[in-house]
Structure 1
Amino acid sequence: MTAPLISLPQATSSNGPFVIAVELSQSDARSTRAHNHARGQLLGATSGLLSVGVGGQQWVVPAIHAAWVPPHCTHSIRSYGPFSGWSVYVAEDTCAMLPAQPCTIRMSSLLREAARRAATWETGDLDARQVHIADVIVDEISVARHEPLGLPLPCDVRLLRITEALVSDLSDNRRLEEWARWAGITPRTLSRRFVAETGFSFAGWRQQARLLRALELLAEGKAVTVVALELGYDNVSAFIDMFRRSLGTTPGRYFEAGAQ
């Protein structure tokens, strides 16, 4: 487990500045065990991507997104490779105007630059200019567009076996009936329980898993063609169509937008 970005008294109290920002780069991966604190936390990667575990879900957070974790919400974090990222901690009473549930958001250029500016401040009370920037950060979090980047896991051990096998090899294109036979469950039960326990159909869950993995690979700089084949798509067009349906744009334009 790596050291916290801010001290325990800062994380567990609303005393001090209502916004505390930190930016950090380290040569090794960053990993924190499940924990919670009184301040809300907005966190993201400066480059690459993070995985945030919260509420029985795993969220992949590329550099163009950020994850919002409300006060007292248990979460864990790990980076893919060396860590370069940032966090904004918001005092609990200020979080009343922010999302009550954890979510992933698309970062605006204004929010990104305001957070980076706040990360340069020295510890202590905020002056009038800093208060203005901190207010901008809170406002930007409150109006940011939510992005569907979560991947809930089922509780049924048979379904969990299937999801674990899928995640280990997302190019596996076996049909629902074949997976049901492999796990010792009827296709009808598999289909019904997948929706009940994850909110996704079996096909929808696999597509979401592939989308998250695609974001990881694309953030690492892999070519769209390589990513499509690695995820089991017969051709690049089918992969791009899936990406566009899910996120409203092509892979290339999606990451270009995040760099703005």
Structure 2
Amino acid sequence: MSDPILQLRDFVDMPAGPIVLAAGASLEEELASGPHRHARGQLFGSLRGLLSVGLENGMWIVPAIHAVWLPPHTLHSGRSHGPYNGWSVYVAEAACADLPQQACTIRISGLLREAVLRACSWAPDSLEPLGTARSHVAALILEEIRSLPVEPFGLPLPRDPRLQRIAQALIADPADDRDLQRWADWAGVSSRTLSRRFVLETGFNFTAWRQRARLMRSLEMLAAGMPVTAIALDLGYSTASAFIGLFRRSFGETPAAYRARL
């Protein structure tokens, strides 16, 4: 299946062209791209599932309710966890002067999502300037990037391949309740090394990282309208109150309050 996002890559380093280029894709397989950079700024996200984003300071897991903003010429890589369903917007370098100057994530508003999806319906192979109606949509996208609150990157991934294997398994099944020793045995690493390197490479101890992974997935499930109790049980919590308590300590509000803000 042809990927419209890949089709745009012939244009993202050209100084000419419209202020915004956008494309979306829904694939039956994972999407992965190695380290690269381009002259345009980039805003991208998924409609479903988690993304891994590699930057020079590490790897990060980003849920579907956030979008990633990369200023022009930022070295990055990326992959989806499972089949890819997402979008990407490329912003002309000249239009990025008053947009965030550091890579960051922003909370996706309903307005931004709809504007991006509209832009993704435009032909991806034209370098003609945008007409009046499309210019309004492009200006709206830029204003949303400029004004929406910046969020901390969701979850750092370890660099050690053995630890990455564990992390990927936990992302695929956050409810897996194997303890540290069993995970260490599974990955062929000592429990002491696993414990020490998780802190060194992610800033979280193993237990805290696993809790954070579950919380990242819970954000998506809340946005999809799942009941709080069902989320808690699906993610391996013994009770809904245990999940609610951890969520409140991590994000400063209950899951229900967070969903109401969405």
Q: TM-score range by the shorter chain?
A: 0.7 to 0.9
In the alignment, the residues of structure 2 paired with residue 165 and residue 79 of structure 1 have an alpha-carbon distance, to the nearest angstrom, of 11
Query: Residues 1-260 of structure 1: matches in 2 within 5 Å?
Result: 3-5=3-5, 6-24=7-25, 26=26, 28-29=28-29, 31-34=31-34, 35-45=36-46, 47-55=47-55, 56-62=58-64, 64-72=65-73, 73-78=75-80, 80-81=82-83, 83=85, 85-120=86-121, 123=126, 124-127=128-131, 130-156=134-160, 159-160=163-164, 162-164=166-168, 166-167=170-171, 169-173=173-177, 178=181, 182=185, 183-186=189-192, 192-218=196-222, 222-258=226-262
1:92/1:77 CA distance change after superposition, 3 Å? farther
Q: Which moved more, 1:167-176 or 1:200-209?
A: 167-176
Q: Secondary structure at the match of 1:53?
A: strand
Gaps of 5+ in 2: none
| TM-score using structure 2 length | 0.74
State the secondary structure of the residue aligned to 2:12.
helix
Deviation at 1:23, TM superposition (A): 4.4
Residue 70 of structure 1, CA deviation: 3.1
What displacement does 1:14 show?
2.8
The one-letter code of the counterpart of 1:154 is: P
- The more displaced of 132-141 and 153-162 is 153-162
TM (norm. structure 1) is 0.75
Give me the whole-angstrom Cα distance separating, in 2, the residues matched to 1:52 and 1:162: 15
Which structure 1 segments of 5+ residues have no match? none
Report deviation, 1:61. Answer: 2.6
Whether the 8 Å CA contact 1:153–1:163 is kept in 2: the answer is yes
Measured against aligned partners, the alpha-carbon deviations of 1:129-178 in whole angstroms (never above 9, x if no partner) come to 644543332232123212235322223466446545644653355666x4
Deviates more, 1:152-161 or 1:102-111: 152-161
Deviation readout 1:3-33 (Å, 9 max, x if unpaired): 2424333222231112223345x47356243
Q: Any conservation in 2 of the 1:40–1:91 contact (CA below 8 Å)?
A: yes
Alpha-carbon shift at residue 66 of structure 1 (Å) = 1.6
1:23 and 1:181 map into 2 onto residues whose CA distance is 39
Q: Which amino acid aligns with 1:78?
A: S
Give, as a single letter, the amino acid of the residue that structure 1 aligns with 2:9. L
Instruction: State, as a whole percentage, how many aligned pairs show the same letter.
Output: 47
Q: Distance in 2 between matches of 1:160 and 1:133?
A: 39
Residues 21 and 27 (structure 1), Cα distance of their counterparts in 2 relative to 1, 3 Å cut:
closer
**Which runs of at least 4 in structure 1 moved beyond 6 Å after TM superposition?**
none
Greater shift after overlay, 36-45 or 161-170? 161-170
Residues matched between the structures, number: 251
